[in-house]
Structure 1
Amino acid sequence: MGHTSAFRLTCILGGLFATAMVTMAVVIYLITARQLIARSEGILNREAQRVAAYPSSRLAEEVTAEVARNAKGLDHFGLLTSDGRSRIAGDIGPFSDLRLDRPHDVPAQAGQAAMRILASRRVDGRITLIGRDISERRDLLKVVSEVIASTVLIILPGTLLIGALISRAPLARIRNLQRACRRIAEGELDVRMPVAGKGDELDQVAMTINDMVDDLGRVLSQVKSVTDAIAHDLRTPLARVKANLLDYHERLEGAGSADAMDRLTGDLDIVLERFSALLRIAELEASARTSRFAAIDLGRLVETAAGLHAAVAEDGGIMLSVQPSRPAMVTADPQLLLEALSNLIDNAIKFARSTVTLTTDVVDGEVWVSIADDGPGIPGEEREAVLRRFYRRDRDRDRPGTGLGLSVVTAIVHLHKFRLVLADAKPGLIATIIARAHSDIDG
């Protein structure tokens, strides 16, 4: 929630408001303090002029009388010796830092509060002190500090709370959008992004994505229709051509004619296999069947697939081994998954030098089935490309195959919402199907 734009914007606005409040409190304090200082200095100058008018002979008595008349205790008076180290009369002084004819603040001392004083030297050398209590300023500073602290303690937690509350609705909508995006990414092109009808930026993004998915669905549907039509319409006439070629083959005499006919029928077999694979991929991509899904032990299914290819591996001089595993339950269509495993094992046997190893393991709630060979492998930059239809590496074009085996595997894995990962086996290639464990799906 802390990463949402609404939460961040609320925190920014709350921070700006708190900063404005603190700044206003500081400005009020500075202006008020300046006014209090100016007021204090005016009082000090007036009192200093009045005390300066007293005759020197009665100055000590007048200073003592001024102290007695100061009922509020805000004004203070003092008379010091010429060196400023001893008090002759009054209730303030002496001070260590004494500046003549310039008002200044002095800190609190024993028996004396902090105050602003004005010291003046008389003709006879003695020094008169006029002091004004600055507790008003101290109290103001305390109030301002409390206001600032209250602002921080109230506004900041309140901002976090308000931000969290404001973010809940947009965050819930974003999660709905994320779920819809994941389903669209998994191939469910009939899913649309939810539109709340508020006309805000989230609705605008959702409507834009919906338009994009509509266009993408139309394009894919057109491409698929063309591909399916070509594969379906050409398969029958090609099969007839093959049948006719076989019929002519029986009528022709001579080894050269027979060899040519064998090459022609072999080429037609490859074309028919590719059309069959295309139709199989189209069937898998078009279906979302889950009626045959059941809890199966993937380890046992791997052993079954290995058994089906044991003879082929032995004929090719390849050692096909299955590593023992503990029960690895997944929810899947066993026939489709067996088809995917068979394609991967067939590829591994085709390219392996001497060994193909099948392993099944359960890792963090996922079942990993790996088919590893010790063949030439696939460079990292081509591992995405080999999953595309008809893609064949240049050095593999002379090998038998349609170039669609991994495309069929990808379609089956996608239907199950599993993952297919190709990695370097050092040497060779390791193809891994990663599925959520059955207990994890139920939970």
Structure 2
Amino acid sequence: MSDTLAAASMTSRGHVWRAVLATSIGNALEWFDLVVYGFFAVVISKLFFPAGNDTVSLLLAFGTFGVSFFMRPLGAIVIGAYADRVGRKAALTLSILLMMFGTAIIVVLPTYGTIGIAAPLILVLARLMQGFSAGGEFGSATAFLAEHVPHRRGFFASWQVASQGLTTVLAAVFGTVLTGSLTHEQLMSWGWRVPFAFGLLLGPIAYYIRSSADETPEFLAAKTTASPLRDTFADHKARLLIAIGIVVLGTVATYLVLFMPTYGVKQLGLPPSVAFSAVVLTGLIQMVGSPFVGHLSDKIGRTGIMCASAVLMLVLIYPAFSWLAHAPSAGTLIAVQVGLGVLVTGYFAALPGLLSEIFPVQTRTTGMSLAYNIAVTIFGGFGPFIIAWLIRATGDKVAPSFYMMFAALVSLAALIAARRQLGFK
């Protein structure tokens, strides 16, 4: 290690928890707005997409959720390259500002009944803005965490996932409280806007914390490149493909969790408050368990933990959904959500640390952002839409498990390639 990097690493130890706070609170708020949209998709579909058929309206709402993901690769390119040229801190402050602006539009946007076709069009615009912002968030946040203490990348990068668990808990708590305490008319009139307003109010706090944080020592000590995007495609194509494959299961599993409240209500006939309460447990498991998985990955390696989690998901997801479909109750939903939460955490919490090691410092944020957002756009963003379509096309309530099994096979192949071609443990 160079003297400059060694000195920088010593400095980082005094500020590392501030970096964790700066990244986690901003990242949680970034994802909170995205998750809330998915949780309240049924309400939003009726207010902004009144197609005369509940299933069609829901598919339109989930389609709008997915359309925003087309902006993610663009956000990954622009904000990711910006982070590799200028710094991780600058990219993080930019992404939170963009997310706040998109959320503000949703908070005040009139519904279809008030302004007609302009309502869904403006909603799509706001979601595109949020998608662009989120496209640069994962890579910038992961690099910011992983580069403060390089020999503990897994532990500190896992706080990226822990903050997403916090997001799931907050969004699900809002869903539980609002659907349980408000009348249908109140929820449709103003209740669905409350969680978006909450995220908007906390946005300035996240911006302040991020803008006052220190840049990462590893980035400051590295020689930057003027063309991180070109360098990534020229020198790291194989690494990029492997990284995309590794992300597939993580994103499909995450958005399956996001879809579960809708699944519980529409397919199982359970009360919304029960469906949201089950998701709270999943979020708590992810929030609490992620740092432990990250720490373990620093000790024994990342791919072994991820392969074990992927194999278990591949084997268990079909029986779990079969049980849920044939014995729909609060107890079975909670049991499935807890099991899913443990396995998703085992896979996803080790993922940021692995991705941060696949790419060098000079192109790290660009590479991670592209890999993550290409996979999320193709397999995750339209995940709820694909799952809803699979159920409708097959008439089988177990259909969501088919998509999960496919994702597990893809990611297992990528993890094997990472072990054999790149030498990761």
Q: What range describes the TM-score normalised by the shorter chain of this pair?
A: under 0.3
Which structure is higher in helix share?
Answer: 2
Give TM-score, length-normalised by structure 1.
0.22
For CA contacts below 8 A with separation 6 or more, give which structure has more relative contact order.
2
Give TM-score, length-normalised by structure 2.
0.22
Which structure is higher in strand share?
Answer: 1
